[in-house]
Amino acid sequence: ELKVEQNPLFLSMQEGKNYTIYCNYSTTSDRLYWYRQDPGKSLESLFVLLSNGAVKQEGRLMASLDTKARLSTLHITAAVHDLSATYFCAVVLYGGSQGNLIFGKGTKLSVKP
């Protein structure tokens, strides 16, 4: 059974600081997604990581994937209030049903002035 664990689940940080969200998964997978969700809204795709060592950056967010360690990180640089949201990682179930994503429980990020 594929399990996806994120930590921390809650993160309160000040503007201008850096922090990292971690996503561990328990079995082999070769695709990992990061999503953002604002309160009351649906999920917005941020990054798709397709191979070991993949790194993608968009603005103040950078995501990386280490398939050997079964670990992905989402690094936040110089946080701003607009980044406050819940962030989910999701892993494709390898060899499972087509396109079945297993989600972590999410990290609720609050950036304070």
Does 26 help bind other proteins (rule: CB under 8 A)?
no
Cα-based angle 36, 27, 21 (whole degrees, multiple of 5): 30
Does 36 help bind other proteins (rule: CB under 8 A)?
no
Among 58, 81, 100, 112, binds other proteins (CB under 8 A): 100
Hey, which residues between 42 and 81 contact other proteins (CB under 8 A)? 42-43, 45, 48
Q: Based on CB atoms, which residue is closest to other proteins, 25 or 33?
A: 33
Amino acid at 88: F
Does 41 help bind other proteins (rule: CB under 8 A)?
yes
Q: Based on CB atoms, which residue is closest to other proteins, 15 or 30?
A: 30
Quote the CA–CA distance of 97 and 66 in Å, as a whole number: 23
Question: Beta 107-112 vs 10-14: how paired, if at all?
Answer: parallel
Closest alpha carbon to 80 in 31, 18, 23, 29: 18
